[in-house]
Amino acid sequence: MCSLVDLQAQKQPAAAKPKLVVGLVVDQMRWDYLQRYADRYSNAGFKRLMNDGFNCNNTFINYTPTYTAAGHACIYSGSVPAHHGILGNYWYSRQLQRNVYCTEDTTVQTIGSTSTAGMMSPANMWATTINDELRMASNFQSKVIGIALKDRGSILPAGHSANAAYWFDDVSGGFISSSYYMQDLPQWLKQFNNQKLPDNYLSKNWNTLYPIETYKNSSADNKPYENNLPGEDNTFPHITNNISKNKYNSFRYTPHANSYVVEMAKAAIEGEKLGKGAHTDVLALSFSSTDYIGHEFGPNSIEIEDTYLRLDKDIAELLSYLDKNIGSGQYLVFLSSDHGATHIPGYLKENKIPAGLVKAREVETLINNYLKETFNISNGVSKVVNYQVYLNHAVIKPEQLERIRPAVVQQLLNIHGVANAFVLNDLNAAPIPEVLKSMMINGYNQKLSGDIQYIPKPQFYDGWEKGTSHGTWNPYDSRIPLIWYGWGIKKGSTWRNTYMTDIAATLAAILKVQVPSASIGNVIQEVFK
């Protein structure tokens, strides 16, 4: 027999919108990590999201190159570099004659540290984000907070009109911000930083969560193609307690930093009273340590397996906290990634799979030498970045470009690790499959991109002999997880193709607000109850 309280609860209409949206972007998370380590995940972390939420199993990035800044911008803007202007982490500026960092802003100052790490803002991003649209739709009563170790993982998701974005500072060992958002850190954050949690985490060292011999999903420890944890070596246990030089930078390369982000998220929810107002609030979280560790040790390392087993526990902790403090069924979570990663060439060659490197600096030298020998042009290449060649228009005459561009394409095709190359302002004529051509067009920005794009062969990339990277169109870089969980989301899954650009459009439908200003995505209708 139902009690009066039960009857009253049944009569209460469902909330029109979630109280809080929590975006989880796991930096460098390949889609297959959901399956590869599933036998060791608990039922409260990744499995809870997969089993009780909606899993879009075939989600792809629909542009290239695939880098962190472009990925975070795309997830929240629903757009691509051609429209939102974030080509990668860096791109070359012909006007400034140097590389431009995605969130650099010399007009603002660091808040919370004596370092220059806070001279950042979303000024280089042309488009609005779903968070900007939510803020405008609520007449700026919705609160939006971005948190990540990386500035770009916090700033770009939060958007232009966010209440705040916070990122980790290697000098102070705490979270900082920019005068773009505020003139002083809030009191709750000062108290959080004063706990000096990174020092506590480093003192615990980093050993495997379980006996190392049980890590059957990974290669043996101490492979010669793995890099070192900064200030330490490349084998377990990692004695982080002994690191003194640049110790906070080293902290980024440990899974404890993911736990730190979760603790910061809790502090922000309580300090800003997120999810307690009349309008939906947003907490945009990015777990950056997975990327730092992935770059150093690669996808088949024990370090990566251990990192994801620990992250599983961190996500379980966060979900449990949200249940208690926001209310089960009252919040919405989505989990995705900004890009994947390829296996280390040394690992692939060890297993008879072709692989190698196409280093940007070597490409730049090769083309510069060719232009000098063939056309008597010195310093004909300004920069090679994002698999794009920026010809030096200051020394190459406009009438020469028509001859030089196709000649450079032919030189690039002579490189062993290059599969394709083409002039970027004539992409429609490029002899490549339509799917790949579409990704190139989406990644090409007429004002910001270079003259020529080259595409490495599968398993080839711009990187180093040790560790790994990403940035290509290939599925290991462009296939990402996408899971929806919580308010208004049904249990289920789909294997149809969905895309990174669909995330913001789907959020707009859930929140009943306008899609971002450059959105090209579609609503994933299957996720709704």
| Residues catalogued as catalytic | 68
Give Cβ neighbours of residue 176 (< 8 Å, ≥ 6 apart): 110, 111, 112, 113, 115, 117, 118, 166, 167, 168, 169, 185
Strand segments, DSSP code E, in 103-249 are: 110-111, 144-148, 164-168, 175-178
Contacts 24+ apart (CB under 8 A), 99-108: 99/383, 99/385, 100/124, 102/69, 102/152, 102/156, 103/69, 103/151, 103/152, 103/155, 103/156, 105/178, 105/180, 108/178, 108/179, 108/180
What one-character DSSP code corresponds to residue 528?
B
Our measurement of the distance from residue 305's CA atom to the centroid of its chain's CA atoms, rounded to an integer in Å, reads 19
Tell me whether residue 7 is exposed, middle or buried, using C-beta atoms within 10 angstroms of its C-beta: 0 to 12, 13 to 18, 19 or more: exposed
> Could you tell me the two tokens for 80?
């691509």
Closest CA to 444 of 388, 381, 516: 388
Q: Which residues, listed in sequence order, are joined to residue 24 by a DSSP beta bridge?
A: 285, 335
CB 376 within 8 A of CB 400: no
HEC letters along 292-310 = HHHHHHCCCCHHHHHHHHH
Tally: H helices and E strands in the chain: 19, 21
Closest by Cα among 268, 262, 334 to 18:
334
Beta strands 90-93; 98-101: pairing state: antiparallel
**Burial 63-92, CB ≥16 within 10 A → b, else e:** bbbbbbbbbbbbbbbbbbbbbbbbbbbbbb
For residues 369, 371, 377, 378, the Cα torsion angle rounded to the nearest 10 degrees is -30
Q: Which two tokens stand for residue 318?
A: 């966060």
Q: Is 11 helix (H, G, I), strand (E, B) or coil?
A: helix
Q: What are phi and psi of 437, to 5 degrees?
A: -60, -40
* DSSP per-residue codes, 318-365: HHHHHIIIIITTSEEEEEE-S---PPPHHHHHHTT---EE--HHHHHH
Phi, psi torsion values for 8, nearest 5 degrees: -65, -40
Residues present in the chain in total? 529
